[in-house]
């Protein structure tokens, strides 16, 4: 066996062990908000012209960027590329950053130009992240979301993510807020590369609009950590778009804060951005 093949074998065994640990931990969760209470992949409802929907991004939005999950995820992507495509770290970094900037999601470029199986990629990258060692129930965030729903100014709170559903649901379960939402629009890794759509593609927003039953973008609120995504929300006419910018850190690949966006340091500061929803 060559050294390269030996490293690849060790990589796959390490990922398999982590996946088994992650599944075991997920099955043990029993804290408040650890169970998903909304239907997944439900039938598209009839649109309601009066319905108000608040769309929530997940990664680096519902939890703080300072958790360093983004950095851990990026290293997981690089490890995958180096082992599966048999390339060095520098080439892997170039591919990852280039596709991420071009398509909003690296896996789309990997599907298009390298024949990568998106579901296998998701398993080896996102599903293998040791999130249970990083994320804990966020009682302050839970209280904010609970108050938002109880005030009744919004008809639905809706998850809107570029992640696949496995990762998205795992995050909100770990945070103890899985029961604070009415549904989810996620990036479907089970489709062909030419059908894979994600933010900031307007088709992704249209998908979220249809799946949530939103009748008009003018009745939508949207929060995300990506300036590009927030800019698209504003361009589509969403009522208010909020960007989470922690400690003045703006990821240039994700875009600067667009004109017209509201800015908060943490998702828990949401009542300051849209006080009308908490009256």
What domains can be seen in the chain, in order of their start residue? 3-23+70-131 (1.10.150.450), 32-64+136-277 (3.40.50.1000)
- Looking up tokens 């593609």 gives 201
- Confidence at residue 187, expressed as pLDDT on a 0 to 100 scale: 95
- Confidence at residue 5, expressed as pLDDT on a 0 to 100 scale: 74
- Confidence at residue 4, expressed as pLDDT on a 0 to 100 scale: 65
Q: Which among 161, 149, 150, 130 is positioned nearest to 40, based on CA atoms?
A: 161
Neighbours of 194 (CB within 10 A): 9
CA atoms within 13 A on the CB side of 174: 22
Residues 130, 195, 58, 185, CA torsion sign: negative
H/E stretch holding 103 = helix 89-103
Establish whether the linkage from the previous residue to 73 is cis, with ω within 30° of 0: no
Cα–Cα distance between 211 and 225 in angstroms, integer?
A: 22
Cα–Cα distance between 164 and 187 in angstroms, integer?
A: 5
- Looking up tokens 């591919």 gives 95
H/E stretch holding 242 = strand 240-244
Cα–Cα distance between 211 and 238 in angstroms, integer?
A: 16
Question: From the centroid of its chain, how far is CA 274?
Answer: 22
Q: Which two tokens stand for residue 161?
A: 């993510």
- Across the 279 residues of the chain, what is the mean pLDDT of every consecutive 10-residue run? 70 95 97 96 90 97 94 94 91 92 86 92 96 97 98 97 97 98 96 88 97 97 96 98 86 83 95 96
Measured CA to CA in angstroms, residue 224 lies from 129, 160, 199, 265 at distances of 21, 9, 10, 12
Contact 107, 121 (CB under 8 A): yes
- Confidence at residue 2, expressed as pLDDT on a 0 to 100 scale: 54
């Amino acid at each position: 066996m060559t050294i390269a093949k030996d490293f690849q074998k060790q990589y796959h065994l390490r990922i398999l062990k982590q996946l088994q640990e992650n599944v075991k931990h997920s099955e043990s969760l029993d804290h408040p908000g650890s169970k998903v209470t909304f239907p997944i992949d439900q039938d598209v409802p009839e649109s309601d012209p009066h319905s108000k929907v608040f769309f929530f991004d997940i990664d680096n939005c519902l939890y703080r960027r300072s958790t360093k999950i983004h950095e851990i995820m990026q290293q997981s992507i690089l490890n995958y590329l180096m082992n599966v495509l048999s390339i060095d770290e520098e080439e892997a970094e170039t591919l990852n950053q280039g596709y991420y900037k071009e398509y909003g999601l690296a896996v789309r470029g990997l599907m298009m130009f390298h024949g990568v199986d998106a579901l296998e990629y998701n398993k080896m990258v996102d599903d293998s992240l040791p999130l249970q060692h990083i994320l804990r129930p966020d009682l302050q965030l839970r209280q904010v979301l609970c108050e938002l729903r109880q005030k009744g100014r919004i008809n639905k709170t809706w998850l809107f993510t570029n992640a696949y559903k496995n990762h998205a649901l795992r995050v909100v379960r770990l945070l103890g807020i899985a029961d604070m939402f009415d549904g989810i629009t996620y990036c479907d890794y089970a489709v062909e590369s030419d059908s894979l759509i994600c933010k900031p593609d307007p088709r992704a927003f249209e998908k979220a609009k249809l799946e949530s039953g939103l009748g008009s973008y003018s009745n939508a609120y949207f929060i995300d950590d990506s300036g590009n995504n927030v800019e698209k929300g504003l361009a589509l006419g969403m009522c208010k778009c909020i960007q989470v910018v922690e400690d003045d850190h703006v990821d240039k690949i994700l875009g600067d804060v667009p004109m017209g966006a509201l800015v908060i340091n943490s998702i828990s500061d949401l009542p300051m951005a849209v006080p009308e929803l908490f009256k």
